[in-house]
Amino acid sequence: MTSQTVRGKIRTRQHVIADLAVNHLERHVLLCGYTGQRLQHDYGYDFTAVTYDRRGQVEGGVLFFQVKATDHLPLLKDRRTISWPISRRDLKLWLSEAYPVVLVLYDGSRDKAYWLHVQDFFAAYPTAQLFATGDQLNVHIPTTQRVNRGAIRQLARYKNEVQEQMQRRADHDV
């Protein structure tokens, strides 16, 4: 083979929209006055966010995000619900977290993203059902759950509620 027949590395559309997806999330986190960290090694999370109160003081806890990207949202027949597969291995990790884990699904063709608070979504499911069979299961994300500043602030409130519960337990145990 000559150097003319060997193709170089290719940046695919999937690479582009994956970066745009994290950028979309990060922008809304920053617009809230919070900070975020892209995670270089993906072991179930792509991004974390730290929140601050109105005075700019750091709040305890963290928001965990897993970000997925597509140009073709798999909508259910109602056209208002996205069906997305997740691995049971990821789910096991996510449900072990005290702080909110958020699945973000980015629609690259429309530059919109949708979110699902994982622990809240699965709270009503019996654990045995979640890990019964197969490597993955589908979650349903309402298209009304758009990633925007309001959603990020709502997720921060969820995180702060968890932090308060943990603090009350710690104070009670002392």
Residue 118 near residue 103, CB atoms below 8 Å: yes
Pairing of strands 35-38, 101-107: unpaired
DSSP 20-82: HHHHHHHHHHHHTT-EEEE-SS-SS-SEEEE-B-TTSPBPSS-EEEEEEEESS--B-TTSSEE
As a whole number of angstroms, the distance between CA 21 and CA 81 comes to 19
Is a pLDDT exceeding 80 seen at residue 37? yes
Say whether pTM exceeds 0.75: yes
Q: In this predicted model, what pLDDT tens digit does every residue of 104-137 receive, in sequence order?
A: 999 999 999 999 999 999 998 887 677 777 899 9
Residue 152 in contact with residue 34, Cβ under 8 Å?
Answer: yes
How far apart are alpha carbons 91 and 124 in whole angstroms?
Answer: 14
